[in-house]
Amino acid sequence: MAKEDFAVLVLSCDKYGDLWPSFLRQFRRHFPAGDWPVYVGSNLTPCGEPGTIPILSGPDLDWSASCKKILRQIPERKLFVILEDLLPASRVDAAEFRRIIKFLSDADARHVKYWPDPVPDEPTEFPGIGSYARGAPYRATVCGFWDRDCLMSLLLEGESPWNFEILGSYRTAYMDGFYGLTSPLFERRNMIEKGRWIPESVEWAQAEGVELKLDGRPMLAGTRGIISRLQAIYFHAMIRVPWRIRTGLMNKLRRALISY
């Protein structure tokens, strides 16, 4: 693949602009250097961090509409997409990163998840890369290696990133070309949940010397914090159950609850 056919896209918005320096500090620290451009997508405020190319979507009507406007301005065919509140926390192996870029072209992959959550359904001939079966939930996630045109085709205006990962995965049910790594490409820290700082992530950032503007949003605490932790425990427990078993149980439950 020619180098101009691949780019990194940091999907963001103006209200998370305070995280751009923190994210890019970690990105430069842990990701391999390359000739590919690094785009930062936002609404009306361009990212002025060195080494980045700002892309503006205009007024923030909704997440998916803004995302499509950003993608239309990117000429590269294959992308590595990440959100600004997912701070890289471990070094990315340069050879592995380039191997996956090559795989995108060689396999004409539509999407490659860079952490196995859930694990891929089937192995492939490419070591460390598995495939997701048609109909598998969470086979399409915002973050990952993407074919730009495929990602654009899956986006429906009015959806949030969380809607996309559920409903967008349903829309891939008749497509092939969805893959995932069998081990994480790197560790990352999710800094914000529903507009609030995650306390454990803030503690990690402070220990790492990552500067944060904490006065810009509240901490996730109290009842909201408890609910968030319980939801995370439930999700990670359920994701370990094979999806075909989960789907079968849910279908039986729906039938049992139907009344006429």
Tell me the CB-side half-sphere exposure of residue 182, using CA atoms within 13 A. 11
Does 216 reside within a domain? yes
d(CA 157, CA 69) in angstroms, rounded, equals 11
Domain assignment present for residue 53? The answer is: yes
Q: In Å, how far are 1, 113, 197, 240, 253 from 39, measured between CA atoms?
A: 19, 20, 25, 34, 45
pLDDT score at 254: 53
The verdict on residue 247 lying in a domain is no
In this structure, is residue 49 part of a structural domain?
A: yes
Q: pLDDT value at position 109? A: 96
User: Looking at residue 93, what is its pLDDT?
Assistant: 97
Supply 13's token pair.
């918005």
pLDDT value for 226: 53
pLDDT of the residue at 1:
45
Give the CATH number for residue 82: 3.90.550.10
Phi, psi of 28 (to 5 degrees): -65, -30
For residue 260, the model assigns a pLDDT of 43
Return the pLDDT at 209: 95
User: Quick one: tokens of 134?
Assistant: 């048609």
Which residue segment(s) compose the domain that 188 sits in?
3-220
CA distances from 142 to 103, 185, 230, 240, 252 (A): 19, 16, 23, 20, 30
DSSP code, position 137:
T
Alpha helices in 31-93 (DSSP H): 63-72
In angstroms, the CA 88 to CA 105 distance is 25
Tell whether 257 is covered by a domain.
no
Is the separation of the CB atoms in 101 and 34 below 8 Å? Answer: no
| Sequence-separated (6 or more) residues with CB below 8 Å from residue 128 | 96, 181, 182, 183
SS3 238: helix
Whether 207 is covered by a domain: the verdict is: yes
pLDDT on residue 257: 60
Let me know if residue 245 belongs to a domain: no
Domain count, the chain: 1
Mean pLDDT by 10 residues, the chain (260 residues): 78 96 97 94 97 96 95 97 97 96 94 93 95 92 97 94 90 95 96 94 96 93 60 52 56 55
pLDDT for the residue 228: 54
Q: Is residue 68 part of a domain?
A: yes
Q: Tell me, what's the pLDDT at 155?
A: 96
